Amino acid sequence: MGGFKKGLQNLGRAMLLPVAALPLAGLILRLAAPDMLNVPILMAAGNAVFGNLDILFAIGVAIGFAKAKDKGIPAMTGFLAIITLKQGLLIIDKTIDMGIFGGIISGLIAAWTYNRFKNQKLPMVFSYFGGEKFPLTMVLVFQTIAAFIFGYIWPVIQAGIDQFAKLLMGMGAIGVGIFMFLNRLLIPFGLHHVMNTYVYYDMGKYTAPNGQVFHGEITRFINGDPKAGLFLSGFFVIMMFGVPAICLAIYNAAYKDRKDEVKGIMGSGATTSFVAGITEPVEFTFMFISPMLYVIHAIYAGLAGFICALFNIKIGFTFGSSIIDYLINFKIATNPILILPIGVAFFALYYFTFYYLIKWKSIPTMGREEVQDYGEEATADEENLSMGSKNYEYTAKKMLQAFGGKENIEEAYSCNTRLRVEVKDPSIVDEQKIKQMGVSGIIKPTENNFQVVVGLEVTYVMAEFGKLLDSE
């Protein structure tokens, strides 16, 4: 089970790489549309990304699973894997469309091929093709076989996926509510990306006037599908109204002498959610302190999706269901103005629910927790340190020490808001010292895997963390 969970975690992480290319491409595509700036060459640039999602995901997954510091050859292996599969399927059956699943499968095969054959030795006359280059040859063989297999079994699988999509979409508002509920509920495990990927980039089908075919709620909405956006509209309610309301509730529920401290953190969290559509810095401040509050949050998210669907609100996003996407996509959306009154209602619902439950149940949310005992070994700098200090080099150094030094690090990387570290010996990890760094929380999906919730500054912390790992 631990290996399975780790594999899903790695898959979610690998998907973040190609997804990182989508926000700007989506914004370009929207701004260049005929009803806005009307710049065809910019639209072509945006479509170059959204029209090749399977290739992006193949490369991203190959990079994510390949065991190598230099990811160049794994990326090339992923690219060769997907184009070999696509060409093989065209010969067998031109109607087969594996979408991003083809990319994910190709990426997984490419990563396995690279890890298995990267040290392969060949006779001297063929030595140039050995070592790290050998996977480039072997992946062509494996993907030719894969094309033959999927050419005959995928039509059945494709029919099953289509039925699932139709079931989910056919459930109307209930289907939307279920999706949004699960979306929030899976965040603590980092598995929401797996489910999101299908809904966002593969569910449904739309043929544009120029004959190009697009899949997924996000992609179809951006390209003018009038049926797309139903599964996305509820997120605007949560990001623009729900999470800021949680921040206000936590701030007002904080003890009087702690309000100034909480104000900065919660104010930043609310702004990040409203402007960037990123909610984890806020959610991780209470999800493990009070699972009850987090389940309520997930239920309210599902309810928001359900209500938005009932009112036939269809609006998409590329940046993160924030005010930016709301304003940019307002013109091509269906009933987007209704998000505002619904959002105000959910702001009140979230605020009063969280505020009164925190007070009634004496939940130790930020500003209400007991004063931490940092121990005799903690320095004054450690006790006062927070992400607001911007001292990322110092933070990374102390965090690495708390993880047991670089000798204890098996792997380290970051996602949107988390520093994810796999250690060799979890017994020597000092979680208390990590918490002293001013992080929002620590998650352990498996015994050897730690996820430190840093926030948006995780990129800078990881940069310094990586330097320390690479140092002699």
Residues 204 and 227 sit within 8 Å (Cβ to Cβ): yes
Percent over 90 (pLDDT), the chain: 38
Question: Mean pLDDT over residues 156-167, rounded?
Answer: 73
Q: Judge if 157 and 194 occupy the same domain.
A: no
Task: Look over the chain and give the mean of its residue pLDDT values, rounded to a whole number.
Answer: 84
pLDDT exceeds cutoff 80 at 319: no
Is there a domain that residue 397 lies in?
Answer: yes
Q: Is residue 207 part of a domain?
A: yes
Is 349 domain-assigned?
yes
Between 380 and 351, residue with greater pLDDT: 351
Which tokens in the block code for residue 249?
């509730």
| Per-residue confidence band for 45, with pLDDT thresholds at 50, 70 and 90 | confident
Q: Is residue 159 located within the same domain as residue 68?
A: yes
Residues 137 and 189 in one domain: no
Q: How many structural domains compose the chain?
A: 3
- Confidence label for 314 from pLDDT (cuts 50, 70 and 90): very high
Q: What is the CATH number of the domain that holds 420?
A: 3.30.1360.60
Give the closest residue to 279 by CA, choosing from 292, 304, 297, 296. 297
* Mean pLDDT, rounded, for 349-378: 77
- Does residue 118 sit in the same domain as residue 208? no
Instruction: Indicate whether 349 pLDDT > 60.
Output: yes
Least confident of 158-162, 232-236, 282-286, 388-392: 388-392
The Cα 453–Cα 435 span in angstroms is 10
Is the residue at 58 inside a domain?
Answer: yes
In tens, the pLDDT along 275-287 reads 878 787 788 788 8
Q: Tell whether the model's pLDDT for residue 149 goes beyond 90.
A: yes
pLDDT for residue 376: 41
- The percent of residues in the chain predicted with pLDDT above 70, rounded, is 88
- Is residue 377 domain-resident? no
Whole-angstrom distance, CA of residue 305 vs CA of residue 326: 16
Rounded to 5°, the CA angle 90-93-99 comes to 65
Question: Cβ-count burial of 176 within 10 angstroms (0-12 exposed, 13-18 middle, 19+ buried)?
Answer: buried
Q: In this structure, are residues 395 and 387 in contact, taking their beta carbons and an 8 Å threshold? A: yes
Residue that terminates a domain, selected from 163, 180, 208: 163
In this prediction, residues 112-127 reach a mean pLDDT of 85
Answer whether residue 376 is part of any domain: no
Between 309 and 431, the more confident residue is 309
Query: CB–CB of 287/453 below 8 Å?
Result: no
Report the 10 Å Cβ neighbour count for 375: 12
Residues 141 and 190 in one domain: no
472 confidence band (pLDDT: 50, 70, 90): low
The answer, as to whether pTM is greater than 0.75, is no
372, pLDDT greater than 50: no
Predicted pLDDT of residue 125: 74
Q: 3-state SS string over the chain?
A: CHHHHHHHHHHHHHHHHHHCCHHHHHHHHHHCCCCCCCCHHHHHHHHHHHCCHHHHHHHHHHHHHCCCCCCHHHHHHHHHHHHHHHHHHHHHCCCCCCHHHHHHHHHHHHHHHHHHHCCCCCCHHHHHHCHHHHHHHHHHHHHHHHHHHHHHHHHHHHHHHHHHHHHHHHCCHHHHHHHHHHHHHCHHHCCHHHHHHHHHHCCCEEECCCCCEEECHHHHHHCCCCCCCCCCHHHHHHHHHHHHHHHHHHHHHCCHHHHHHHHHHHHHHHHHHHHHCCCHHHHCCCCCCCHHHHHHHHHHHHHHHHHHHHCCCECCCCCCCCHHHHHHHHHHCECHHHHHHHHHHHHHHHHHHHHHHHHHCCCCCCCCCCCCCCCCCCCHHHHHCCHHHCCHHHHHHHHHHHCCCHHHEEEEEECCCEEEEEECCHHHCCHHHHHCCCCCEEEEEECCEEEEECCCCHHHHHHHHHHHHHCC
CB–CB of 35/332 below 8 Å? yes
In a domain, 90, yes or no: yes
Q: State both tokens at 271.
A: 């702004």
The answer to whether residues 322 and 407 belong to one domain is no
Length of the chain: 472
Same domain as 289, residue 365: yes
Which range scores top for mean pLDDT: 17-26, 189-198, 395-404? 395-404
Q: 10 and 39 share a domain?
A: yes
pLDDT computed for residue 183 by the predictor = 87
Give the range with max mean pLDDT: 13-17, 171-175, 319-323, 444-448.
171-175
pLDDT of residue 374: 36
Residues labelled catalytic: 415
Find out whether 78 and 58 touch, Cβ atoms under 8 Å: yes
Top mean-pLDDT range of 123-127, 328-332, 355-359, 381-385: 355-359
pLDDT at 442 over 90: no
Q: Is 388 part of any domain?
A: yes
Q: Are residues 192 and 275 in the same domain?
A: yes
Domain with 148 in it: 2-163
Lowest-confidence pick of 7-11, 228-232, 301-305: 7-11
Lowest mean pLDDT among 11-15, 135-139, 373-377, 464-468: 373-377
Q: Which residue did the predictor score with more confidence, 112 or 21?
A: 112
- The amino acid present at 377, given as its one-letter code, is E
- In this predicted structure, the answer to whether residue 172 has a pLDDT above a threshold of 60 is yes
58 contacts 106 by C-beta, under 8 angstroms: yes
- Measured from the Cβ of residue 373, the count of other Cβ atoms closer than 10 Å reads 8
Does residue 27 sit in the same domain as residue 156?
yes
My answer on whether 41 and 139 are in the same domain is yes
- Is the model's pLDDT at 313 over the cut of 90? yes
